[in-house]
Structure 1
């Protein structure tokens, strides 16, 4: 149910006319004045639906723009009037030059072009992406008011997750010690960060909107914020925060992956301790080695170093050290270490710890090799 039509070569917006003007126009149309629909050029008629003056297509035109609800018309006209009041050059049901798209409301001012799309019925993801890409290609800021927002929150979140965790997809594993709640945000940010699409939740019957940080926003207030550039800036600032977090995560990932290797060797599998126990059994089971002071001294040094290494690892993983906090993650009863992904300084400190561990591991292997040589020399 379009709001505008062409009559006598002039574009007429139904709600802009007074009731008297509308009645006179209906009378002239009844007496033969043709009405042509802007969207498709087909013949049309005038109608008032629950107080809203609008046009509708003649029967069997097959135009897809003839199925808008009363709520859609009212919201579209309200946005149109707010833009006009802000001295924006504004049109409803505005087509592109090649007519590949028709937006609900188009507004431009000082070189800035904005479209508002009111979507009360479910829109396939492919349509949302392709339609918005047309606006992006033409340098137009598009804003989608989505009435079924929360119903699709999981889908939009999956787009965000695919965008935010590319390393996990590549390695087929998650980067360890990262608390995913650090990257939690709202649906409008999921869409903007992942696909550069600007959206807001809509409650059509109440004519109110909602976002992550504001559960209820009057439609008029939000439209004015869009026109001022504030909502665009909010999305850009949220994206910048995300980029910062993502950069920190990428920077910390190599050290965190390496640290997990050390966890497996030190705690889970006790790789170093088992090597020490193996040498203990070998030395203790041979009188010649058991009574050799040089071999015993080297073994004690290695054993002491292994105990030190475990204590050092536990120190670094403790909350008091400042790199990790311990949290009970969703669905788990046990606390897990989470890296404090706060700054480059934290990552630098983590890198230094991992580098120290790697150096110790190299020294440990060298010490074992030296012990092997001592044992071999005693066997000659």
Structure 2
């Protein structure tokens, strides 16, 4: 039986079996705690540059469903599971995750101790890694991983953002903008229930956005470092310019870029939050949320910036959302559109709609 290896920059090697596309992959090894939602995670542009480890021990049991895509392709560089289901439920057509990865040219590795792997990541922090079938090349690969820059040092947002302005008319009264850093289809779905939507490339200047007569702007999720030089030079400047003109709602990376644009700072987390079961305290209640991020807002950096952290992660106290004290600007670090996960916080889209209507008066 063929063997495959997950190699980490610290020299650790996990032996397993290959599935999916026959190829090697290099990326940042991260884990997600969701029991389901593997298809949404694989097609989430926020995972660009990463090798995804699923903590739930059996992945693929309900197959692949065309309704669950969050983009047009798989964005993870590789997939790591304890076991993948070879005979999924026929409820959604019976297509296997093995075939899905092959079609998207993404390698997978199964049969490894994912519990031990996740403990290592939680202890040491996120590590660079590789999936390979070349046992003889492992020592060389470890040296390469140590020298390799983290994927977030590249402008990953540029890779996943739309390349030109796109307009969607859903027959609604108002139109809002969506500044695309790698948006999930779930976000566009929730916006479409309330607005017509104009989607802008990540580096669109503020004057171009305002010329399109949008009544608010949503800053989407996306991959990479919110303080990347290319983001600071273009996107952060755009958000700063827009902040006094129209309502702003930032989600995930959009939350972080809002903080940076208005004078705050971010930091890279030890291993991030990824999964659909993160508790967030907001207005005296605890909501269970869907998350996928490796950076966070430094709460101390918000002092004197008219931004307050009004939502906090119950597990580790990190910032999960902000609001401006004077302007119609608010954010969430988590994903209120779910896809996958709970719908507990979808009311944030209603809050955005209210802000856009009030600005339109």
State TM-score, norm by structure 1. 0.27
Quick one: higher RCO (CA 8 Å, sep 6+), 1 or 2?
A: 2
User: Between Structure 1 and Structure 2, which shows a larger proportion of helix residues?
Assistant: 1
Which structure: larger Rg?
A: 1
